[in-house]
Structure 1
Amino acid sequence: MEKKHWFKTYIYIWVGQFVSLISSSAVNFAIIIWLSLEFKSAEVLAYAAIAALLPQAMIGPFAGVYIDRWDRKKVMIFADAFIATCTLLMTFTLRDGNIQLDLMYLLMVCRSLGSAFHQPAMQAIAPLIVPEDELLRVSGINQILQSVSSIAGPALGALAIANLPINQVLYLDVIGAAFAIISLLFISIPYIKSDSKASIHQVWRDLKLGFLAIHENKGLNRMFLYSIIATMGIMPVAIMFPLMTIEHFGGDKFEMSVIEIIWGIGMLIGGSLLSIFKVTYRKVLMLNCMHILLGLTFVLSGILPAKMFIIFVALTGFGGAAMSIFSAVFMTIIQEQIAPNMLGRVFSLYFSFAIIPSLIGLLFAGNIADSIGVANAFIIAGGLCILLGIVSFMTPSLMLLGENRNTEQVNS
């Protein structure tokens, strides 16, 4: 497969996704501020997160089967258009200060359905375009784009929510989706055609093949398992960052913005390191170390006294860097281990497997915050991450992952 002009192709993808990421980040942060200040409830934030994640988790594995069959460029275009349409409809639910949470949750569910197709398709196109020895560098650049959007997005979101009603702020997401769609129209992405028909029996068969691609690679399935367990503990805590800032450290809109921006700066640094320097040591070592580093930032944040907000800011930056490197390395290992025609369903299965257990934690997020406190929740989640990082170093199949990549790669 010809990959000589991969960088030129990815320039178009990066430009469109960059604008889309910034606008989405701005809108997401504006919604968080709005929900946090309007309701001051971890329960409301948890329900919003569930509405945004559960549908994606439920249909994700089936979406992955079709992503591997369909033209991935068209999948991304139609998914972006559908998500933008849902956002546009959401503006009417919040018009004139009329808060209809049930309808807002429903539209977030619809947006999640679109994301179930878009996110795995985006991850699955890289091996079709990029030479294998450049995959980690591309993942690093993707993390840079996400990082810059994490820095600029909250600043833009805070500015927007301070000057505009929430329903008008949502238009930013629609504009960003339009940019992403237009950029995709200028490029060509290889299309791996499937001769088999999309019957129910065949879909189940393809889904099973995707599961076996993970299960039969012992190192890979252990990596998935540990990441899923970590996500189950981290997800409830992740939505509590605004409450941690407000309740534990006595912050407000400005401090919330600072935390979001610093997290983005940390991610930017992590992604930049991967894109600038050629990584010569094994990726699995980086993966395990980032697990431990992220856990340490959570634990230390939880034990800080309320007057040490500036230390919380610094720890958040380190956490962002650890998360950026972890995500880039994790995705690259999957792209190296799994054949391109299987990536759509494998990424979809992972996203679903990671999300569904974490929703259990989200359901109890309000009770967790009320019963043990937000700070203690940070300590517990961080301790879990550290433990999993240590266990990863003690798992032989995981530590061998990547050493015999050519012989381990799974083919359908």
Structure 2
Amino acid sequence: MYTDWKKKFAFIFSGQLFSILTTSMVQFSIIWHLTETTQSAVVLMIASLVGFLPQALLGPFIGVWLDRWNRKLTMIAADGAIALFSLALGLYYYFGEPGLGFVYLVLMARSIASSFHAPAFQAAIPLIAPPDQLTRVAGWQQMVFSASTVLGPALGIAVYSATSLGAVLLLDVAGALIANIMLMLVKIPQPKSEATERPQFLAEFKLGWQTFIKVKPVVIITVATAVFSIAFMPLGTLFPFMTLSHFGRGGYSASLVEAVFSAGMIIGGLLLSVVASRWKDISYIVMSMVVMGVTCVASGVISREAFVVFVILSFLMGAAAPFFNGPYMAMIQRAYDPAMLGRVISLVTSIMLLSSPIGLLMAGPIVDKYGIQSWFLGCGIVTVLTGVVLFVLSKRLHVPEPEPAASSAE
């Protein structure tokens, strides 16, 4: 079943590198274009909402279809749809300036297509890789994602400045085309589904939820992840504010922090792919949370003159992140039947996406009243305590771990 699995992932990730890279270029370029042309925080807020809310709200229901459809064809169709909407918006910008309503509509359509692509991809991974190699594959995926998100904004703004937003959008079409061609060259097994009748969304959503809660350790880790997300996710927005308000530095220093954090994620993903399966997945998750928590606490107490220390802490924080994300997803992939995995991953993804705006709503007033370091300090304490609680609970619960597959060395 797992013959030539490494070669398959070489094809898949090669294509995904182009797709994620060009998507990152588009996302940054659109936000920058809206910032430059409207200079309106309301416009940016609406653009952000229409970009992620469809994924958060539709995920659990989309999972019903993902477990019935061919996952390879679903990924190809979703990436193709994203490319089609990029093409439409790109042509519009080429011939003139589209209205904000059309831009929002395209961003929403791209988000809906992404809500099919991402969980379909995650649900397909355990059909290709042996169970004992899922954590290593997650490390590879983190490297591809991190490298793309590091290079994407820089390349996006370079192409945008030299040409136009339309040109960036057309590059996204090329990226999706390359990803789909590489995916077509890979054979992905399809899990057998017992369902033959048309899906009843309420009943099948309930079945997906019941399947998810049967694995108590994953449920507990998911709850902990939601708490962690509420505390940690706002930092993505607050990093530049920390650089400006606490250290009194400008845009160059802010971009340096972002680049160092992303570089840490790349190296962390590489390390995870090398050391995967040497420890239990829960050990990597706990270690990651403790390291990220400690670096946040340190960031919350350092002086205004310690910007270099903050840069180092940001690197360590980024390097620790893949050791949380990768093992957590690998744990889910091996804990559930592949025929139900689309529903479970879509449900978990929605929980994580809905946690982020909760954190942002909480962070704003707290930072305004108590200062930026208060959120870093509080986030660090919450993250460390969550990691400690997970460590204690993991001793009492049977956490799904990989069993070596005989064919995994192929």
Q: Report TM bin, short chain.
A: 0.7 to 0.9
In the alignment, what sits opposite 1:191? Answer: 190
In the alignment, what sits opposite 2:85? Answer: 86
Which of 344, 347, 350 is 1:346 aligned to? 344
| Matching residue's letter, 1:84 | A
In the alignment, what sits opposite 1:75? Answer: 74
Secondary structure in 2 matching 1:332: helix
Aligned pair count?
Answer: 404
| Matching residue's letter, 2:186 | I
Q: Which runs of 5+ in 2 are unaligned?
A: 405-410
Whether 1:7 and 2:6 are equivalent positions in the alignment is yes
Identity percentage over the alignment?
36
| Superposed displacement of residue 354, structure 1 | 1.6
| Superposed displacement of residue 116, structure 1 | 0.8
Contact 2:60 2:343 in 1 (8 A): yes
Contact 1:236 1:361 in 2 (8 A): yes
In the alignment, what sits opposite 1:410? Answer: none
Which of 321, 324, 327 is 2:325 aligned to? 327
| Matching residue's letter, 1:268 | I
Q: Distance in 2 between matches of 1:55 and 1:107?
A: 12
Under a length normalisation based on structure 2, what TM-score does the superposition of the two structures give?
A: 0.87
Q: Distance in 2 between matches of 1:246 and 1:165?
A: 29
Range with greater deviation from structure 2 (377-386 or 221-230): 377-386
- Superposed counterparts of 1:7-406, under 5 Å: 7-33=6-32, 45-91=44-90, 100-197=99-196, 199-201=198-200, 203-363=201-361, 367=365, 370-396=368-394, 400-402=398-400
| Superposed displacement of residue 245, structure 1 | 3.7
Q: Distance in 2 between matches of 1:92 and 1:111?
A: 16
Contact 1:22 1:152 in 2 (8 A): yes
Q: Distance in 1 between matches of 2:402 and 2:90?
A: 51
| Superposed displacement of residue 334, structure 1 | 0.8
User: Structure 2 vs 1, CA of residues 100 and 298 (structure 1 numbering), >3 Å: closer, same or farther?
Assistant: farther
Range with greater deviation from structure 2 (218-227 or 360-369): 360-369
| Superposed displacement of residue 184, structure 1 | 1.3
User: Structure 2 vs 1, CA of residues 26 and 312 (structure 1 numbering), >3 Å: closer, same or farther?
Assistant: farther
Q: Distance in 1 between matches of 2:153 and 2:113?
A: 23
User: Structure 2 vs 1, CA of residues 384 and 357 (structure 1 numbering), >3 Å: closer, same or farther?
Assistant: same
Q: Distance in 1 between matches of 2:33 and 2:21?
A: 18
| Matching residue's letter, 1:219 | P
| Superposed displacement of residue 8, structure 1 | 1.8
Q: Distance in 2 between matches of 1:138 and 1:380?
A: 33
Range with greater deviation from structure 2 (246-255 or 103-112): 246-255
User: Structure 2 vs 1, CA of residues 200 and 372 (structure 1 numbering), >3 Å: closer, same or farther?
Assistant: farther
- Aligned-residue Cα RMSD (Å) equals 3.0
Secondary structure in 2 matching 1:125: helix
| Matching residue's letter, 1:377 | W
Q: Which runs of 5+ in 1 are unaligned?
A: 407-412
